[in-house]
Structure 1
Amino acid sequence: MKLHRRILDDLRTWKESTDRKPLLLRGARQTGKTWAVTEFGRTSYENVLRIDFMRDPQAKALFDGPLNPHSLIDNLKIYTSQNVAQQDTLIFFDEVQECPKALTALKYFCEEAREYHVIATGSYMGVSKHNNDSFPVGKVNMMTLHPLTFTEFLENTGQEQLSDMIRDGRFDSINAAFEPRLNDLLKTYMFTGGMPSAVVTRLAGGDWEQVREEQRSILDSYDLDFSKHAPARIIERIRLAWGAIPSQLAKEHRKFIYGVVRPGARAREFEESLMWLGDYGITSRIPCVSALKTPLAGYTDASAFKLFTVDVGLLGALADISASTILEGTNAFVEFKGSLAEQYVCQQLVSAGYSPYYWANPNGRAEIDFALEHQGLIYPIEVKSSTNVKAKSLRLAHDHFGTGKAIRFSLERFRQEDWVTNIALWGVDGFKAYLDSTR
């Protein structure tokens, strides 16, 4: 079966843009970059000229000489035995990190041949490193493909209207009769996650063990990539840090502790490994800030951070959490002391384009799960994984720093109070639209 991905709408907007540049689509492995561009090409162009540099390493030689785009197109036509029409052909460089000169060539397509429609896809790791070649800064449009958000998941389960209402931030328009359905679907999503192959497995009728097996396969492919791409001296530490994420999040205070990874470990031993995981695109590093003031980046404490994975389903697989633990009752929201719920919220916020932070006061008696900036205001966010929505830390932070209205994501339904707004956990993907509507 085919999934509906919102990135397809973004790609169509890119095609019609009067200021279109070559496009670089990045994302972690297994998020569906190749499928998305292939499907976009199939539905929006008469022809797709695709070069997969991983499967066809000989094609790299096409870029060994001068990177004149017109000469490159002549050679590409001969190499693939395909014609290239400026408006009707999509030129697709897949796995572009395997051919850095092809990435560099995007600069010259922008400067000298913008009439051609060119998309390159690549993993975070290869694109971010891009050693010994000039990255086409300012010469490409850039997009990032994340795992499916919860509202994308809803769309693919036939709940398009509810998905639209959430995505538009119209929480007060959602009748209470739909909330049990949304909570059940959210639990399903928290087990399945948003990796396309896991979602397809479930929607095609696969049972929970088949979904989990697909997630384990993704984790195995990541582990193979660790061996293939990482410097040999840090491979073991990468595996230790990656495997320790569930135990890090299970702590009462989820600041990353190097001693949890390995007894007696120091930051200097694992910092490069953590940076590698971030460059690979499968972790989100959430820095601690000393004050909820703008800009948040100016108040970060480099030594304190939380680490989340790219996907809530993969976190469950990494921790080997059973389906019954997540799907029965409200366990999905309290497992790991609520860390699955925090992982889910973090994932939705990152997909929405936010760079989240968190705040903890120096005496350790108060902590805010997330904080972010939106249109010049700071919003402190607390994730409550039960129906107990008392929020002493949230109130303390709001009053002390004079932030914008505080936000609480919980199992309670939408409710606005004088200083805090409660949004149901299933509504996180509509948070940005809600903020825009209240300005």
Structure 2
Amino acid sequence: MHPKARECIKYLVADGRYDYIETGSLISIKENVKNIVIPSEERHLSMYPLDFEEFCDALGEGQIIGYIRKCFADREPLENELHHKAMLLFKQYMLVGGMPQSVIAFLESRKDFDKADVEKRDILALYRSDIMKIDARYRSKVLTIFDQIPGLLSQHEKRVVFSNVVAQSTADQYEETFFWLSDSMISNECFLCNDPNVGLSINENRSYVKCYLGDTGLLVSHAFDENELLEDEVYKQILGDKLNMNEGMLYENTIAQMLTANGHKLYFYTHYNTEKHRNDIEIDFLISNNSKLKYKMYPIEVKSGKRYSIESLKRFREKYKARIGECYVIHPRSLCFKEDIVCIPPYMTICL
């Protein structure tokens, strides 16, 4: 967005003959404000990548969304063939993402992932170009975190260990970095909340953060170079559930993206057991119903494999049972129940 054009909007709107839409990357919009008056007439709209429902609509598969919502409400699994179809759509969404250019390339090429990948790499290049425009005080740190997101998410805990980013660095040195990435909608932040109570944000600990890329399709292209995608046939492996490395990070990033699209702020929980010298409770996501009178929270564990343990979630439920509405496991199987824990396929995340 050109700064002077933005300043002129005030007079153009006052003229009354037209409505105007201003667009631009958030970094550019925030940086190009020196020596101009920000028009009070502006109304800000946050534009996210396509969510899963919109992606299905784009592929001409919108009808399945109503069926997914009905089955979730009735606590019933989808009919087996439709479950496989919904899982295929979810995996396509995970690989292509929701950036419009990528989705269009995927559709126009008759679902060629490589054509979508070209568009995604162009977007990643634009991100890097935009980052180079920000204040020099933050630029190198923002680039460092942006480049390291795939590596951070491939770890078991997935949270940022600042001393591993740069030796002897601390969380407060990177606070502005994560602000820039999330405020520009490049990333989705997830903060630690170790005393989940009324208003998760009141008890957030910003020293502990997980940094998800705002679009999982971009994460796929960010994590693998072109040769890896082609030679290792990564797309085919993920579609066939045969990718051992990194699939968990892609699943978790997609769930973060879907929860964000549903309006949820992201929080996670850990509990360190001093006797065992390790975390004995780890909850991937905490969401709440945002009620001040009948507050309930909903812990979510994301499992990319079909074999997993729910002990951590059970311990969390026992510890905070008075505050919990329902507990969810998101897994690749159909909807089922395990000891009163609702286990749902990832495409049902839209219902949370």
TM-score by length of 2: 0.84
Aligned to 2:276: none
Alignment of 1:251-290 (within 5 A): 251-290=155-194
User: 2:77, 2:334 within 8 Å by CA — same for their partners in 1?
Assistant: no
**Inter-CA distance 337–200: structure 2 relative to 1 (3 Å threshold):** closer
User: 2:268, 2:283 within 8 Å by CA — same for their partners in 1?
Assistant: yes
- Return the match for 2:229 from 313, 322, 329: 322
Aligned to 2:122: 217
Shift of 1:160: 1.7
For 2:7 and 2:149, how far apart are their aligned partners in 1? 41
Structure 1 unaligned segments of length 5 or more: list them. 1-52, 77-83, 98-121, 432-439
- Say whether 1:73 aligns with 2:14: yes
SS of structure 2 residue aligned to 1:144: coil
**Inter-CA distance 173–210: structure 2 relative to 1 (3 Å threshold):** same
For 2:344 and 2:7, how far apart are their aligned partners in 1? 54
User: 1:389, 1:410 within 8 Å by CA — same for their partners in 2?
Assistant: no
For 2:312 and 2:28, how far apart are their aligned partners in 1? 37
Give me the identity figure in percent. Answer: 23
Aligned to 2:304: 385
For 2:257 and 2:98, how far apart are their aligned partners in 1? 10
Shift of 1:216: 0.6
Shift of 1:143: 3.7
For 2:341 and 2:348, how far apart are their aligned partners in 1? 16
- Return the match for 2:327 from 403, 406, 409: 406
- Return the match for 2:21 from 93, 103, 118: 93
Paired AA for residue 166 in structure 2: R
**Inter-CA distance 284–370: structure 2 relative to 1 (3 Å threshold):** same
- Return the match for 2:26 from 99, 117, 123: 123
Aligned to 2:150: 246
Shift of 1:181: 1.7
Alignment of 1:129-140 (within 5 A): none
User: Which is higher, the Rg of structure 1 or of structure 2?
Assistant: 1
Shift of 1:178: 1.1
SS of structure 2 residue aligned to 1:245: helix
Aligned to 1:309: 213
**Inter-CA distance 72–197: structure 2 relative to 1 (3 Å threshold):** closer
For 1:282 and 1:256, how far apart are their aligned partners in 2? 16
**Inter-CA distance 93–143: structure 2 relative to 1 (3 Å threshold):** closer
Q: Pairwise CA RMSD of aligned residues?
A: 2.8
Alignment of 1:165-204 (within 5 A): 165-167=67-69, 169-170=72-73, 172=76, 174-204=78-108
**Inter-CA distance 254–62: structure 2 relative to 1 (3 Å threshold):** closer
- Return the match for 2:283 from 345, 350, 368: 368
Paired AA for residue 171 in structure 2: A
User: 1:124, 1:281 within 8 Å by CA — same for their partners in 2?
Assistant: no
SS of structure 2 residue aligned to 1:292: coil
TM-score by length of 1: 0.68
- Return the match for 1:396 from 298, 315, 324: 315
For 2:202 and 2:319, how far apart are their aligned partners in 1? 18
- Say whether 1:156 aligns with 2:97: no
**Inter-CA distance 72–379: structure 2 relative to 1 (3 Å threshold):** closer
Shift of 1:296: 1.3
Paired AA for residue 144 in structure 2: L
**Inter-CA distance 424–134: structure 2 relative to 1 (3 Å threshold):** same
Shift of 1:187: 1.8
For 1:395 and 1:129, how far apart are their aligned partners in 2? 50
Shift of 1:365: 2.0
Alignment of 1:336-355 (within 5 A): 336=246, 338-355=248-265
**Inter-CA distance 338–135: structure 2 relative to 1 (3 Å threshold):** farther
For 1:209 and 1:394, how far apart are their aligned partners in 2? 38
Alignment coverage as a number of residue pairs: 330
Shift of 1:184: 2.0
SS of structure 2 residue aligned to 1:254: coil
User: 2:335, 2:343 within 8 Å by CA — same for their partners in 1?
Assistant: yes
Shift of 1:61: 6.1
Shift of 1:322: 2.2
- Cα displacement string for residues 215-255 of structure 1 (whole angstroms, at most 9, x for unaligned residues): 11000011111112x11233222111101111111111112
Alignment of 1:225-236 (within 5 A): 225-228=130-133, 230-236=134-140
SS of structure 2 residue aligned to 1:92: coil
SS of structure 1 residue aligned to 2:286: strand
SS of structure 2 residue aligned to 1:370: strand
For 1:353 and 1:274, how far apart are their aligned partners in 2? 19
**Inter-CA distance 60–142: structure 2 relative to 1 (3 Å threshold):** closer
Aligned to 1:49: none
**Inter-CA distance 281–344: structure 2 relative to 1 (3 Å threshold):** same
Shift of 1:424: 0.5
Shift of 1:173: 6.6
Shift of 1:197: 0.5
- Cα displacement string for residues 313-369 of structure 1 (whole angstroms, at most 9, x for unaligned residues): 11111111626324322146x542611110000000000101121000033222000
Aligned to 1:103: none
Shift of 1:279: 1.9
Structure 2 unaligned segments of length 5 or more: list them. 274-278
